[in-house]
Amino acid sequence: MPAAYREAQLTSIYDFRANALQGRETPLSIFKGRVLLVVNTASRCGFTPQYEGLETLHGKYRDRGLSVLGFPCNQFGRQEPGDAEEIGQFCRSNYGVSFPMFQKIDVNGDDAHPLYNT
């Protein structure tokens, strides 16, 4: 875990930052006031079709305050082996994903992203 996260007192989801698939650091505070559905994803998982349902939710409720946030992870059976560009292309071309996707993170263990380590 990065030292800045270990030392900071993070009290709400809006205190976190994550890197978007395109690489830019994104403060989750930009979603303040919205209902957030934070989802761990993988492109080669038995649950991969979840992208379709998540995109449907995103499309149906985004104007009413819902934001779906996708966080790919390769920790479980190496089911997300691609790089950011491959993940983005897969999600767009197979499921039409338009909700925010972030770079791969660990969701457990010593290197777990702070969002999943609280």
Contact 104, 86 (CB under 8 A): no
Q: How many CB atoms lie within 10 A of CB 58?
A: 20
pLDDT number for residue 1: 46
* Residues noted as catalytic: 45
**Confidence class for position 47, pLDDT limits 50, 70, 90:** low
User: In degrees, to the nearest 5, what angle opens at C-alpha 83 toward C-alphas 2 and 52?
Assistant: 105
pLDDT at 48 over 80: no
**Confidence class for position 7, pLDDT limits 50, 70, 90:** low
The mean pLDDT of the chain is: 88
pLDDT digits (tens, 9 = 90+) for 51-71: 999 999 999 999 999 999 999
What percent of the chain has a predicted confidence (pLDDT) above 70?
A: 90
pLDDT at 21 over 70: yes
Residue of 35, 33, 40 lying closest to 18 (CA atoms): 40
Which residues on neighbouring strands pair with residue 64, listed in sequence order? none
Q: Which CATH superfamily is domain 3-116 in?
A: Glutaredoxin (3.40.30.10)
pLDDT number for residue 116: 84
Contact 82, 104 (CB under 8 A): no
Residue 23: both structure tokens together: 């690489």
Q: Where are the domains of the chain?
A: 3-116
Summarize the confidence of residues 15-34 as an average pLDDT: 95
